[in-house]
Amino acid sequence: MKKHSDKPGQTVTNLIGLGNHSARKSYYPELVTKIDELEAEKNRYKWLFENAQHGIFQVMLDGPVLTANPAIVKICGYTSAEQFCDKIRHLESLLFCCADAYADFRYHLVQYGRVFGFETLFLRADGQCVHVSINALLKQTEGAAPTIEAFVQDITERKKTQDKLKRLNEELEERVASRTQELVSLNDKLWQEISEREQIQKELKVAKEAAEDANKSKDKYLAAASHDLLQPMNAARLLIAALRERALQEQDAHLVERVHLALENAEDLLTDLLDISKLDQNAVKPDITDFRISQLINSMVGEFQPVAENKGLTLKGLDSSAMVRSDSRLLLRIIRNFISNAIRYTDEGRVLVGCRRKGQVLSIQVWDTGTGIPDDKQNEIFKEFQQLECHTAKDRQGVGLGLAIVDRIANMLGHQLKLSSIDGKGSMFSIEVPIAEPQGEVVHAPGFGFQVHEPLNQLAVLVIDNEENILSSMYALLTQWGCLVTTASSEFEAIDACKEFIPDIILADYHLDYDKLGTDAIKAVRNKLGLDIPGVMLTADRSDECRQLFAQLELQVINKPVKPGKLRALLTHISNQ
């Protein structure tokens, strides 16, 4: 049955929504707006498609290119999109310069539906290849053939940069390898040099040990040889001293004097050689004490007074109450050299020994009116074997070691040497010694303060020496001085001689036969007689050990060859005590 409308008068226009009262008619403006927006969006995408910097194209999976933007056309070297689409009938002909790359791309695209950052080569229209990076999507619509939408970026510059960096890296690796090889080679050479140096050091060590052994052997030989040489020289000096004091004919006296001077030169040479050898080997150890400088000056003036008088010179020492801190024995050696040189190189006038205080040091000075020293030569005289032509004396000549020894001793003691001289008018040698304040008992340096030229009549002297020549020489000299003399060659002979002879003083050689010592002989005589008889050691041994031993036993010491003047001064000093 036909159904009638509930609202009479409705028309077809009203029914399709075109009537004045249709509810659908109100959506039309919105629909128009949406259409406009879609058109605008389409135009925007079209503009982006046309002006994109990256290439964009759409292609059938196994067919031709459907559309392409100007960027991909430019990348591939075509003149227009139409030409590009006409020429590229299959993606394989464009996409890759080798079939393997296309197969790899198609497999990943079909397998995963997309490919990102796939780098390959596109074949340009001119036959060249360009490096590109592809992002692609596979679109499959039901009932339609699958299509590919691809976005392409030209990465030629990046590839060039990568290639450049690769080349630089390869070059750097080559340079590193080359430098490494050079360093390895240098390292090998360095190790070789180190090995050679170690070998050289070993050889130097062996050579040094050999040299040290040789020096030790030399020192031992020099000590032994000097002892053997000094023994006969000592006997000769004593005999010559005895002859000099006798009344002889003028011609004989002249010959005796020449022999005396020759022996003095030989003695000075041996003494200097021994001293320089000991200083070179650091065998001399300072024994620092406090003592009065007047003791040293008086001793030196007393020792050299006869020498100065024989030469017609005036030798004067100025007394001083100052105390100094030094090694008395080594300082004595320096002052003795100063005075000896002053007398040796002064033909007329005087020699003056005095002191001046300069702050905390005492300057011990020796002035002379001798030949003087030129300014340009004043540094040379402290070198070994250096003598000035003007200092070549007629009677006694040194070898140029005296001041070299003085310089080394001063450096060892830390004392400063000074020289002031006027050529042709004289010189002043000085040494600056620290001043010491008196504290408790003052140490007296052995052998200081001797007096000379006093009578020795009836002084009983026992001489102990294993050399017959020395015993004869000592007997001749001492009896000439008025002494009562008994000689012995060993400890037993000395004890036997004292059965009828009581000595006032004992003169003993340190080294006797059969490794016996003169110190033991002196102690044996003292024990036999029950008396503390003064003893004097006559020895060529100048070692510190012997010096300390003699000091402990309170024995005076005279080094061989014995100087008659010093011996007489010592005998006079002991006799007065």
At which residue do the structure tokens 């080359």 appear?
178
pLDDT range class, residue 279, cuts 50, 70, 90: low
Q: Does domain 284-434 have CATH number 3.30.565.10?
A: yes
Instruction: State residue 367's pLDDT score.
Output: 92
Tens digits of residue pLDDT in 305-317? 888 888 889 999 8
Which part of the chain has CATH 3.40.50.2300?
A: 460-576
What 3-state DSSP class applies to 407? helix
pLDDT range class, residue 276, cuts 50, 70, 90: low
Asked if the model's pLDDT at residue 25 lies above 60, the reply is: no
C-alpha to C-alpha distance for 102 and 118, rounded to whole angstroms: 11
Rounded to an integer, the average pLDDT of 358-376 is: 88
Q: What is the DSSP string of 94-123?
A: HH-SSHHHHHHHHHHHHHHSEEEEEEEEEE
Homologous superfamily in CATH for domain 460-576: Response regulator (3.40.50.2300)
C-alpha dihedral, 294 to 297 to 299 to 300, nearest 10°: 180
C-alpha to C-alpha distance for 285 and 25, rounded to whole angstroms: 132
529 Cβ neighbours under 8 A, 6+ residues apart: 498, 502
C-alpha to C-alpha distance for 80 and 95, rounded to whole angstroms: 18
pLDDT range class, residue 3, cuts 50, 70, 90: very low
Rounded to an integer, the average pLDDT of 155-161 is: 88
Tens digits of residue pLDDT in 102-148? 888 888 888 998 999 888 888 888 888 888 899 999 988 777 888 88
C-alpha to C-alpha distance for 273 and 32, rounded to whole angstroms: 132
What 3-state DSSP class applies to 448? coil
Whether 408 contacts 333, CB under 8 Å: no
Asked if the model's pLDDT at residue 261 lies above 70, the reply is: no
Rounded to an integer, the average pLDDT of 522-539 is: 89
Q: What is the mean pLDDT of the chain?
A: 80
C-alpha to C-alpha distance for 267 and 234, rounded to whole angstroms: 9
Rounded to an integer, the average pLDDT of 558-572 is: 82
Rounded to an integer, the average pLDDT of 259-271 is: 68
The lowest-confidence range among 73-77, 383-387, 563-567 is: 383-387
C-alpha to C-alpha distance for 250 and 312, rounded to whole angstroms: 19
- The residues with which 417 forms a beta bridge, in sequence order, are 431
pTM of the model: 0.47
Tens digits of residue pLDDT in 203-235? 888 888 887 777 666 666 665 565 666 667 777
Instruction: State residue 449's pLDDT score.
Output: 43
Handedness of CA 14, 17, 18, 21 (dihedral sign): positive
Which part of the chain has CATH 3.30.565.10?
A: 284-434
List of E strands, 42-161? 55-60, 65-68, 114-123, 129-139, 147-154
If we measure between CA atoms, which residue out of 531, 317, 279, 538 comes closest to residue 403? Answer: 279
Instruction: State residue 94's pLDDT score.
Output: 72
Tens digits of residue pLDDT in 443-467? 444 444 444 445 677 889 999 998 8
* Cα angle: 30, vertex 36, 37; to 5 degrees: 90
Rounded to an integer, the average pLDDT of 374-383 is: 73
User: 28-154 maps to which CATH number?
Assistant: 3.30.450.20
If we measure between CA atoms, which residue out of 551, 335, 295, 489 comes closest to residue 537? Answer: 551
The widest CA-to-CA distance across the chain, in whole angstroms, is: 199
Tens digits of residue pLDDT in 346-357? 989 999 999 999
Asked if the model's pLDDT at residue 549 lies above 80, the reply is: yes
Backbone angles phi, psi at 84, to 5 degrees: -60, -45
The lowest-confidence range among 75-84, 276-285, 417-426 is: 276-285
If we measure between CA atoms, which residue out of 151, 165, 174 comes closest to residue 52? Answer: 151
- The tokens of 330 are what? 């080594």
Which part of the chain has CATH 3.30.450.20?
A: 28-154
Backbone angles phi, psi at 275, to 5 degrees: -65, -45
